[in-house]
Amino acid sequence: MSSEFVIHLAGEAVYTVLKASAPMLVLALAVGLIISIFQATTQIQEQTLAFVPKIVAVLLTVLAFGPWILTTLVDFTYNLLNNLHKFIG
């Protein structure tokens, strides 16, 4: 196993993780920003006000993007095992 192969594999794994988690992270960031603007405007400093909407938003995002995330992860796993099979066998 060459070092180039391992570095390429690690880079592809990091890219896949970022690609799969991006929808949840972006939506949680947007909801957090909206809630923090609301809290600053109304001067309400309740921690659960920021926490609960983010959880609900991330859950809805997982439900909406779940099939796409699963396809992305399955494609990565298939390519990984296919490359290892070619390399070993």
Buried b (16+ CB within 10 A) or exposed e, 43-56: eeeeeeebeebbee
| Cβ atoms of 12 and 82 closer than 8 Å | no
Q: Would the pLDDT of 89 be above 80?
A: no
Note whether 53 and 31 are within 8 A (CB): yes
Start-to-end CA distance of the chain, whole Å, equals: 12
Reported pTM: 0.78
pLDDT tens digits along 27-38: 999 999 999 999
Max distance between CA atoms of the chain, in angstroms, equals 64
